Chain A
Amino acid sequence: MDEIRVTIDGKQLSGHPGMTILELARENGIDIPTLCYRPELSLLGACRICVVEVEGSRTLVGSCHTPITPGMVIHTHSPKVLETRKVIVELLLASHCGACFMCDKANICELRQVAAELEVGLPRFEIKKRYYPIEDVSPYIERNLSKCVLCRRCVRACRQIAKRDLFAVAYRGFDAKVVVDSDRALDKEACRDCDICISFCPTGALSKPRKLSEEKKGKPLVITS
């Protein structure tokens, strides 16, 4: 097979045709942060955290979905790249509900992790946050879309791995949202014994319900000393 030679961060590397910049970089121990990318899922390039600089390219390119071409000169950690990644994470955090201390998945949250790695503190942008009621109808999956960053990993995992195809993205722009059917609370028997989407969710938007919703409702909180 023909090898493709490229330069990443000054290193001469070669990969096979069809390989993405991200794959080649990771294979050679160069770390590029990602959020919407998962090797098991189709390529999307939705979150833009993996952007890199390619010499001669007008814009930064998403490394997770851009194939390598002969002679590419790529910078994965140039000042421009780092600054852009930071702003992207800031923007994601700006509309994210951000109540990490209340979130069960805080310690495994990938958004929080990339924010920490890129040293993003409080976002500079004061914009409206997306708040949605928690969907706790299903005994199998709880959805809190206030924490959703629209990476579409659940949409793809449900379609491509679980083969159930329950989710899609609806509405437009800031109102965009992952929906079930015609924007109904998720309550599908198909979700029994399947928590694939939960394991793919980078944030706390999808989680296993702590209790059945039936139990939760109408029960007083009892504190025993």
Chain B
Amino acid sequence: MSKVATNPENLLARLKQAQDRLGYLPEECLAEVARSLNMPLSEVYGVATFYSFLSTRPLGRNVIRVCKSLPCYLKNSRMIVESIEDKLGIRPGGTTPDGRFSLALVNCIGACDIAPAMLINHDVHGDLTPRKISRILQSYE
């Protein structure tokens, strides 16, 4: 809650701060941000649900974001998603029961040169193959 917190232009920055602090954006948090920026809750909710890096639901300790944009798609990102789904038993949008992983599909993450690519938390993983996936997943607790 630093810097000219009441300027509506700070909405995105405020949401990101809150997400970093809480791991996701619970409704009370959105309502609080809306109140302090003097904006309707619907508008804040709209922004929070538009960006795939913001979440209104609790996430696992590690968030896997697989790129679903065209270059990765052409390099068979579907297979990567399926392989993660098989290994973790969750679908995009889901979180494992032990809270270890969440899986999401996102738009281009700027790693087209190493397509198919994904992010786990802030780490980029590219040139993915189903075999690589198991090894990568093992390294996240």
Contact of B121 with A by CB under 8 A: no
Cβ of A97 to closest chain B Cβ, rounded Å: 23
Q: Which B residues are CB-close (under 8 A) to A180?
A: 42
Query: Which chain A residues border B48 with CB–CB below 8 Å?
Result: 170
A31 close to chain B: CB less than 8 A:
no
Give Cα A167–Cα B44 distance, bound, in whole angstroms. Answer: 11
Q: Does B58 contact A (CB under 8 A)?
A: no
B43–A182 CB distance below 8 A: no
Residue A108 is within 8 A (CB to CB) of chain B in the complex: no
CB <8 Å contact, B40 and A166: yes
Interface string of B13-49 (1 = CB under 8 A from A): 0000000000000010011000000001111011011
* In the complex, chain B residues whose CB is within 8 Å of the CB of A170: 42, 45-46, 48-50
Q: How far is the CB of A42 from chain B (nearest CB, A)?
A: 15
**Residue A165 at the chain B interface, CB threshold 8 Å:** yes
Contact, CB under 8 Å: A165 / B45:
no
Cα(A170)–Cα(B43), bound, Å: 8
Q: A182-B27, A182-B45, A182-B56 are in contact. Are A168 and B40 (CB under 8 A)?
A: yes
Known contacts A182-B27, A182-B30: does B45 contact A172 (CB below 8 Å)?
Answer: no
Is the beta-carbon distance between B45 and A181 smaller than 8 angstroms? yes
B45 contacts across to A, CB distance below 8 A: 168, 170, 179, 181-183
Residue among B31, B46, B50 having the largest count of chain A Cβ atoms under 10 Å:
B46
Within 8 A of B (CB), among A40-77: none
From A170, A171, A182, name the one whose CB has the most chain B CB atoms within 10 angstroms: A182
A164-190 CB mask vs B (1 if < 8 Å, else 0) is 011111111000000111110000000
Q: Within 8 Å CB of A167, what residues of B? A: 42
Would A181 and B50 count as touching, CB distance under 8 A?
A: no
A183 to chain B: closest residue by CB: B45
Which residue of A has the minimal Cβ distance to B42?
A168
Query: In the complex, are the beta carbons of B50 and A172 less than 8 A apart?
Result: yes
Set of chain B residues within 8 Å of A183, measured between Cβ atoms: 45, 49
Known contacts A182-B27, A182-B30, A182-B56; is-contact A171 B49 (Cβ 8 Å)? yes
Query: With a CB–CB cut-off of 8 A, which chain B residues contact A166?
Result: 40, 42
Residues of A within 8 A of B40 (CB): 165-166, 168
How far is it, in angstroms, between the C-alpha of A166 and the C-alpha of B45 when the chains are bound? 12
* Residue among B30, B45, B52 with most chain A CB within 10 A: B45
Taking a contact as CB atoms under 8 Å apart, the answer to whether B46 and A181 are in contact is: no
A191 to chain B: closest CB distance in Å? 14
B residues near A179, Cβ cutoff 8 Å? 42, 45-46
Whether B41 pairs with A182 at a CB distance below 8 angstroms is yes
Nearest CB in chain B: distance from A159 CB, A: 8
A22, B53: Cα distance in complex, Å:
39
Q: Chain A's nearest CB lies how many Å from the CB of B132?
A: 29
Q: Can you name 15 A-B residue pairings with CB atoms under 8 Å? A: A165-B40, A165-B42, A165-B43, A168-B42, A169-B46, A170-B48, A170-B49, A172-B49, A172-B50, A172-B52, A181-B42, A181-B45, A182-B27, A182-B30, A182-B41
Residues of A within 8 A of B (CB): 165-172, 179-183
User: B-side interface residues toward A, CB under 8 Å?
Assistant: 27, 30-31, 40-43, 45-46, 48-50, 52, 56
Besides the known contacts A165-B40, A179-B45, A182-B31, 7 further A-B residue pairs in the complex with CB atoms under 8 A apart:
A165-B43, A168-B40, A170-B50, A172-B52, A179-B46, A181-B45, A182-B45
